[in-house]
């Protein structure tokens, strides 16, 4: 088991691990415990009542965070011809077709999002063992397999994020930076919760939001009461 440092243990001592906090209160705690030495990412982890072993219970998609993510995504686009030019014009960091496939196959992974046109998915599919484990494989369900690559690049550069349940039903997604205001983080968190509710599989039975936890990159998790995670008006009023 990994041993946490002194600063983490000091922060952990300030969090009641048995308490389920409201959203605004949890955000306040996370911001207070963030390290001043760098602007930490704030991450949300949601445990869903689904069985990811069943194809119809995999929850995945994309959403645009109202306040953005606080970072600019590095976007790679697998495209040729007119779509390649469109991707470059939209600000893609790296664009290519067979040459980019070869580059990635050789170990190049200096990007956060991969977008591909449908006609190149045959070649991109050969990168499954490289891109799949890192969650980088383009997929029509997340809008990363498209002919409208310019729009996709613009959206991901502007704060659009991808999410997917892991093998035990957790969704991990960054919702901003510790330097964000409380209102910005609360707004982004609620946008994620609403999106997950919208994406709830029809076959999922029983409780859906099993646990909700927010934390900074280097800080301890703060548990949010799932029953209060959707109280948008109350939390935004509290954050005003």
Q: Which residues contact 220 (CB under 8 A, 6 or more apart)?
A: 8, 11, 12, 15, 17, 33
Contacts within 8 Å (CB) and 24+ apart, 194-201: 194/230, 194/232, 195/61, 195/63, 195/163, 196/46, 196/48, 196/59, 196/163, 196/171, 197/230, 199/59, 199/60, 199/61, 200/59, 201/50, 201/56, 201/57, 201/58, 201/59
Centre a 10 Å sphere on the Cβ of residue 6 and count the other Cβ atoms it contains. 7
End-to-end Cα distance, the chain: 41
pLDDT at residue number 27: 95
Tokens linked to 174:
């960054």
**CA–CA separation, 158 and 135 (whole Å):** 19
* Class of 6-69+161-238 in CATH: alpha beta
pLDDT tens per residue across span 211-233: 999 999 888 889 999 998 876 55
Tokens 């040459």 correspond to 99
Q: Read off the pTM.
A: 0.75
**CA–CA separation, 227 and 51 (whole Å):** 21
pLDDT tens per residue across span 147-177: 999 999 999 988 888 899 999 999 999 999 9
**What CATH number should be reported for the domain whose range is 75-157?**
3.40.50.790
pLDDT at residue number 235: 54
Q: Residue 76 belongs to what H/E stretch?
A: strand 75-78
pLDDT at residue number 195: 95
- Please state the domain extents for the chain: 6-69+161-238, 75-157
Would you say the CATH fold of 75-157 matches that of 6-69+161-238?
Answer: no
pLDDT at residue number 34: 86
Q: How far is CA 109 from the centre of its chain?
A: 18
CA angle centred on 67, ends 44 and 149, rounded to 5°: 95
Asked whether the predicted pLDDT for residue 1 surpasses 50, the reply is no
Rounded to the nearest integer, the mean pLDDT of the chain is 89
pLDDT tens per residue across span 82-103: 999 999 999 999 999 999 999 9
pLDDT tens per residue across span 24-75: 999 999 999 887 788 999 999 999 999 999 999 999 998 989 998 888 889 9
Helix (H, G, I), strand (E, B) or coil at 143: coil
């Amino acid at each position: 088991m990994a041993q946490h440092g002194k600063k983490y243990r000091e922060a952990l001592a300030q969090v009641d691990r048995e308490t389920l906090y409201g959203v605004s209160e949890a955000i306040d705690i996370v911001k207070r415990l963030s390290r001043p030495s760098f602007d930490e990412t704030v991450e949300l982890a949601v445990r869903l009542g689904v069985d990811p072993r069943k194809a119809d219970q995999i929850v995945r998609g994309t959403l645009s965070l109202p306040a953005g993510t606080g970072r600019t995504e590095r976007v790679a686009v697998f495209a040729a011809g007119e779509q390649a030019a469109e991707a470059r014009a939209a600000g893609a960091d790296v664009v290519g077709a067979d040459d980019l496939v070869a580059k990635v196959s050789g170990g190049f992974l200096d990007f956060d999002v991969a977008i591909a046109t449908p006609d190149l998915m045959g070649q991109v599919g050969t990168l499954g063992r490289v891109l799949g484990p890192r969650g980088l494989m383009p997929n029509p369900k997340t809008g990363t397999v498209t002919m409208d690559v310019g729009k996709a690049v613009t959206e991901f550069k502007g704060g659009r994020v991808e999410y997917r349940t892991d093998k035990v039903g957790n969704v991990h997604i960054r919702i901003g930076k510790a330097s964000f205001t409380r209102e910005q983080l609360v707004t982004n968190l609620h946008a994620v919760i609403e999106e997950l509710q919208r994406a709830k599989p029809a076959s999922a039975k029983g409780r859906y939001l099993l646990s909700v936890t927010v934390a900074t990159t280097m800080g301890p998790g703060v548990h949010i009461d799932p029953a209060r995670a959707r109280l948008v008006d109350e939390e935004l009023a509290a954050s005003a």
